[in-house]
Structure 1
Amino acid sequence: MLNYTKILVVFVSLLVPASLFSQTLKALEKKGDEAVANKDYYTAMIHFAEALTIEPQSMRLNYKYGEMALQFKAFDEALDRFEKVLDSNEAADFPLIQFHLGQLYRSQGQYNKAIDAYETFLSEYQVSGDDSFKAQAIHARDACKWARESPTRERVEVIHFDKEINTPYSEFAPVLVGDTLYYSSYRYEMKSDKHDPKRKIAKVLLSVDGKKGMPLRRGFNPVDQNTAHTAFSLDGKRVYFTLCDYLEGSSEIQCKLFYRELDSKGSWKGSPKSMPAHINRPGFTTTQPNVGYDSTLQAEVLFFVSDHVNGVGGLDIWYAVVEESGFSKPELLDGPNTEYNEISPYFHTPTQTLYFSSEGYENLGGYDIFMARKDSMQYVDIENMLAPINTSYNDVYYMPADPDRLAYLASNRPGSFYLDRRNKACCNDIYEIHFLPADETPLVSNPEIPIPITPPDLPKEPTTLEDFLPLALYFDNDEPDKRTRKTTTKRAYQETFEPYYERKDEYISEYSLPLDPDDQAEAELNMDLFFEEDIQKGSRHLGLFSEILLARLEEGEEIEIFLKGFTSPRAETKYNEALGKRRISSVRNHFQTWRDGIFQPYLDSGNLIISERSFGEATAAAGVSDSLEDLRNSVYSIDAARERRVEIVEVKRQ
């Protein structure tokens, strides 16, 4: 079974319901133990936390809570509990505590402390039948010895994506296709969930040119089901993904692989199709698809991860050949798999190289990213990608967009966003990796310090006044100067733009809220694009237009600018005519006040003339709502917002 990153949302101080003291300590602990048995660790942690508010000095409860805190990567919380147990007279009752301390220190990169803890555990632990803990401790201790001596890759820059993509929840599985980044986000509430507390689900999102990520639309993400991972076929006509369900009474999920076909216009064809039973094997999880071309097999190959009983151990990487009639019998990859977990395969076809993450091998802690070269039917020369690509935390979903220059990964390393300061390693974020040429120096030498992503190259800006036409400048509803019939205003355009742009989130929410989830995601994306590509762009272009205009006036040209006003049809015609004139007045004020009035001498001399044409509702597009009661469509819709504008429609040399 596959556990996604769990999120510690509630701590002891927030977990004291009014009815707590009517419940017995024994009942709370029993509920916690039952949740652990069901692998519902989130619920278990809540019950143990509640029990500790009744009996904070119970070493048994402190230990159980510490185990759950470690499970959720709340390392400071776990350390507090374990140290409390170690300082007590009951430490000997918990023989695994040094093992857990080793896990904790290793996860934080404190390798010497981790080695000491593992050595103490190995010297004290008495094996009684199951020696798996001893084997794990030996493996982890030896990995710590390797990690503290391991080299660091030079000329690598690690960049943390900002909040356009990352959130305090988990973002993972990045895949770059052209200028579009597909990824998954584990932040959506499972609305119909009867579990207490409600569990989160994942959805697949996309971000174009680094803009805000939005869920894939038109039914791709089911309402109350985990949807994650994207892998496109070589011809781009099919996308593979996973649908996952929570096991009953648990926070554990079981996944199956599905695919959907795309038509020539990029729209989904039909419903999701499940992979055949020999791949989606009943009772096991099948997840994390990736597609590549195997030059030995001369075939398209689907890679995936499964915990099938015939694997090497834990989660393993499998593959199946994509055939005209379906898919071949899946086979285990020869080379990468160990008795530990191997996940997130990515096969780079041009170099026939497999990238994957593993808890096995010598690593820095958690999952490290490895690469393996394909040689005939084997994968050889398995190599740790080293720091700063890897950390002592979980580093997964490596995607080499260009192996020599650019890659993406997901990690819960320091610098990732988090929900609570006590649980800073809760969640994966997406990072961009730059491999720098020898003559470039990283901007930041410490990979743990997040820096903003370098924005993509912008389209070429206009270079002449005529290139801007028509230059649209957008206004908030009934602005400038609400509820007046005046035809002029003292406000310049920029004074109206800034408060309007600050309402972007409100517009997104009000416009999308009544819609069903699929249409809602599309509405959110479209409104966000309107604010960025139309409203914000108009303001920026007005500044550039003014720069070019000044240069031409300084060269002795005489110029006339024609403005045309528009309004949305919420009021009667005379009111809208006045509103259109006020909007033109605010744009006129821009030219009168820009750069402390630098255009004023040209306006006074007649070398610069601002002419106006205002049309009010008469020019509003057909279909735009004029209903005063229907705020969503008459105020917050894109159609209505697009009508509230002034355009610079013509530039004439006198």
Structure 2
Amino acid sequence: MKFAEEQYEKGDYYYAKEYYEKALLYDSSSVSILWKYAETLRAYQDYPNAARYYGKVYEKEEARLYPNSLIYYGMMLKQSGNYEAALEVFKRAKKRYARDKRGFAYKKSREEISACVWAKSTIDDSADVVFTNLPETVNTKNAEFGHLVFENKLLFSSLRADSVHTNEEVYENDYHTHLYYSDKQDDKYTRADVVKELFYKKMNSGNGSFSLDGKRFYFSLCSEGEATYRCKIMVARYEDGRWADIDSLGEIINEPGTTTTQPAIGEVMGDEWLFFASNREDSKGGMDIYFSVIKNGNQYGKVKNFKSINTMGNEVTPYFDRENKVLYFSSDFHEGYGGFDVFEARFENNEFSKPKNLGVPVNSPANDLYYFTYGDTAYVSSNRIGSLFSKNPTCCSDIFKLYPTPEPEIEIPEETLEELNARLPVTLYFHNDIPNPRSWDTTTTVNYIDSYNDYTQMLPTYQKEYAKGLGSERARDAEEDIEDFFIEYVDQGVRDLQLFRDLLLKELQKGAKINVQVKGFASPLAKTDYNVNLTKRRIASLVNYLRAYEGGVFAPFMKNTAENGGRLVFTEIPFGEYVADQLISDNPNDKKNSVYSRAAAMERKIEIQSVTFIVEEDSLIQALTAEKRIIDAGVRKPGEKIEVEFSIRNQTSVPVKITAVTIPCNCIAVPEFDREFSPGETVRFKATLDTSDFMGHTVKSIEITTGYAQNLELMISVEVKE
């Protein structure tokens, strides 16, 4: 144990791991050994095994001895790509840490719930790029981190030992990071050489960025200190391919007693800025990104915390794209796929935008760092599956590059809406009786995003009402449970909508004619016919959102006036509460359960369920329409036979024949249709529902097929009571 701890403190996690494994052979039940072994596996970046052992620790001590055991358990599951399991662990952690809502553990758990939900919905996204790791002339089974390309050279740092045995034991204590370069000719990279002028025998050098005039080169120099590096930023004069006059920056930048590293130069509002990462006293937590304005090449202004992007976690590896005015950085706290993800903040209107995750393939469940661009190629350093390794597939980083897929000589038209449908269903949620409460209108002027914003502001009310009458522990669980609903479902619905919206617009701008089918649902608090109108208003709020988006970019497609012929229509199916969980309270005096419960809130929604092309010759998507699609038979006795009458009309200018009538059971009897409907003809027919086998709220459907794109669905609703 003592030897293992010594190796861990040195940063030799592989050696420490071997000796903790020997210790576990003597005592596999010791929580202390299990914890130290899990910590070592995490440091060694063996995510699946680290998750397993953090799980063992938590089973034994339930975060009493090691408060972060549950957080790390979830993080290791997440970094293994097991988002479903990680989500459940973080939900448990959020409840566990709810007593201190200002603390890191609670806020981290809350953030990770949102991140896991988001990651699940986007991890399979595809991008039109080539993504590959660099050849073994650059990457090794150790760790490489890319920094920049200059003068047809790739500059990077690599963690390599002078003497390493085949079982990865280091025989000389010189396992350091140094700067290397590889000559780059097109897609070829020569075998790497160390940058001799920036080589320090017993120290670690890395990173790199040139001044705007190319005459100064900033890099990091670090000394070892118990598994962490204490770093400072250095500057060298660069001329004729050589570095000289190396010196450290003053204490304005290199604050004593802190780590200051990863310099990056950018031009902002005509000034030269130095971005860097540091853990100085005013950081929001861990490492933060800071900046200082440089005057006359050697005068550094007051250091400022980049507050708009920094978090309680760590923000590192800044890189500024001078041409496009974008700051790239990595964070382990903003919403991401795993450990560190790459984000961008664009400089627009004299300020930096809210950070945006670059998505896949730039990011992965592992750690993704040191993003930078050169021409149309981007580079990122990652320890994801696919990196070179000796024993642990995610132990060490490689440098990867990505660039646009070459355009085909002949453009092949897309025949499917596979990418759009892969985003479905998109589910959007509403507060009770919203929009336009106590109204029988079937339409609304409300924009869904306004409704969503109002809804999320009501979270404290939901928590208070749902927790009423419960003991302190159960009340706290109820509050966390309803908040999880807002994070997992309400907020995620809007993010899904935004992704769907962008893909939909992309297809329409290609000239596609698209039909979007939207279904509405409601909790069973109001009467059935009222809920039908309510769900129509909810669908209308979605249509209003798209119509108003970006000043009306969808409007020409919705009006069928787009110059490219693109068209967007909606098929609305207002289900009311017909598929709602019938155990949900419909008692207006029991608002805790009928309005503010998670179960009731889950039912108040609309869903974008399918996307299809409009067939050119089908000027109308649906041949038959109904005066009333849904008939509510009210409250009836068991065994009653209910007769209802539907009125259907052929709304086309050609004869239409019914090809099939589908009913869910023998409980419904309908007449046979064996003739054509003339253009504009209306036919009334009776259907009989036998309630013998039903109790409570019941809805049964009749589906009429005509061969047109959309079938006609008719429904009978009834509440059967003794």
- The normalised TM-score by structure 1 is 0.56
- Letter paired with 1:200: Y
Q: Are 2:100 and 1:122 equivalent residues in the alignment?
A: no
Distance 1:100 1:313, change over 3 A: closer
Cα distance in 2, alignment partners of residues 89 and 357 from structure 1: 33
Distance 1:190 1:312, change over 3 A: farther
Q: Which runs of 5+ in 2 are unaligned?
A: 165-169, 412-722
**1:289 corresponding residue in structure 2:** 263
Farther-moved stretch of structure 1 (429-438 vs 211-220): 211-220
Q: Are 2:181 and 1:212 equivalent residues in the alignment?
A: no
**1:427 corresponding residue in structure 2:** 396
- Letter paired with 1:260: A
Cα distance in 2, alignment partners of residues 392 and 50 from structure 1: 30
- Letter paired with 1:177: F
The question of whether the paired residues in 1 share the 8 Å contact of 2:48 and 2:77 is answered with: no
- Letter paired with 1:262: Y
**1:203 corresponding residue in structure 2:** 178
Cα distance in 2, alignment partners of residues 187 and 84 from structure 1: 34
Shift of 1:223: 1.4
Shift of 1:112: 0.5
Distance 1:311 1:88, change over 3 A: closer
Shift of 1:327: 1.9
Cα distance in 2, alignment partners of residues 90 and 373 from structure 1: 43
- Letter paired with 1:64: K
Cα distance in 2, alignment partners of residues 355 and 310 from structure 1: 22
Structure 1 segment 328-477 matched on structure 2, within 5 A? 328-375=301-348, 377-402=350-375, 405-420=376-391, 423-436=392-405, 439=408
Structure 1 segment 143-542 matched on structure 2, within 5 A? 143-150=115-122, 152-189=125-162, 198=173, 200-209=175-184, 210-247=188-225, 250-263=226-239, 265-270=240-245, 272-294=246-268, 296=269, 298-324=270-296, 325-375=298-348, 377-402=350-375, 405-420=376-391, 423-436=392-405, 439=408
Cα distance in 1, alignment partners of residues 212 and 63 from structure 2: 57
Distance 1:213 1:377, change over 3 A: farther
- Letter paired with 2:394: A
Shift of 1:70: 1.9
Report the secondary structure of 1:114's partner residue: helix
- Letter paired with 2:119: A
RMSD of the TM alignment (CA)?
A: 3.1
1:49 to 21, 25, 32: 21
Shift of 1:229: 1.0
- Letter paired with 1:266: G
Shift of 1:91: 9.7
**2:113 corresponding residue in structure 1:** 141
Deviations 1:149-174 (A, max 9, x none): 12725202211112110011110033
The question of whether the paired residues in 1 share the 8 Å contact of 2:157 and 2:177 is answered with: yes
Cα distance in 2, alignment partners of residues 310 and 345 from structure 1: 18
Distance 1:257 1:83, change over 3 A: closer
Shift of 1:426: 1.1
- Letter paired with 1:414: I
Report the secondary structure of 2:323's partner residue: helix
Distance 1:266 1:437, change over 3 A: closer
**2:510 corresponding residue in structure 1:** none
Between the aligned residues of both structures, percent identity stands at 28
**1:107 corresponding residue in structure 2:** 79
- Letter paired with 2:118: W
Report the secondary structure of 1:147's partner residue: helix
Deviations 1:111-166 (A, max 9, x none): 11101122233345585899432222221122101111127252022111121100
Q: Larger RCO: Structure 1 or Structure 2 (Cα < 8 Å, ≥ 6 residues apart)?
A: 1
Shift of 1:415: 0.1
**2:34 corresponding residue in structure 1:** 62
Distance 1:300 1:84, change over 3 A: closer
Deviations 1:462-515 (A, max 9, x none): xxxxxxxxxxxxxxxxxxxxxxxxxxxxxxxxxxxxxxxxxxxxxxxxxxxxxx
**1:542 corresponding residue in structure 2:** none
Cα distance in 2, alignment partners of residues 197 and 120 from structure 1: 45
Cα distance in 2, alignment partners of residues 90 and 197 from structure 1: 41
- Letter paired with 2:272: E
Cα distance in 2, alignment partners of residues 306 and 90 from structure 1: 33
The question of whether the paired residues in 2 share the 8 Å contact of 1:42 and 1:251 is answered with: no
Report the secondary structure of 2:178's partner residue: strand
The question of whether the paired residues in 1 share the 8 Å contact of 2:366 and 2:382 is answered with: yes
Shift of 1:58: 3.4
- Letter paired with 2:251: A
- How many equivalent residue pairs? 400
Structure with more strand by fraction: 2
Report the secondary structure of 1:417's partner residue: coil
Shift of 1:425: 0.9
Report the secondary structure of 1:219's partner residue: helix
Distance 1:238 1:216, change over 3 A: farther
Cα distance in 1, alignment partners of residues 381 and 356 from structure 2: 19
**2:496 corresponding residue in structure 1:** none
Shift of 1:376: 5.0
Cα distance in 2, alignment partners of residues 323 and 277 from structure 1: 16
Distance 1:299 1:46, change over 3 A: same
Distance 1:203 1:334, change over 3 A: same
- The normalised TM-score by structure 2 is 0.51
Cα distance in 2, alignment partners of residues 355 and 145 from structure 1: 24
Distance 1:290 1:64, change over 3 A: same
Q: Which runs of 5+ in 1 are unaligned?
A: 1-27, 442-654
Report the secondary structure of 2:160's partner residue: strand
Cα distance in 1, alignment partners of residues 8 and 147 from structure 2: 32
Deviations 1:559-578 (A, max 9, x none): xxxxxxxxxxxxxxxxxxxx
Deviations 1:446-476 (A, max 9, x none): xxxxxxxxxxxxxxxxxxxxxxxxxxxxxxx
The question of whether the paired residues in 1 share the 8 Å contact of 2:344 and 2:358 is answered with: yes
Report the secondary structure of 1:351's partner residue: coil
Shift of 1:183: 0.5
Deviations 1:366-407 (A, max 9, x none): 1111111113552114221111111111111111213xx311
Distance 1:299 1:130, change over 3 A: closer
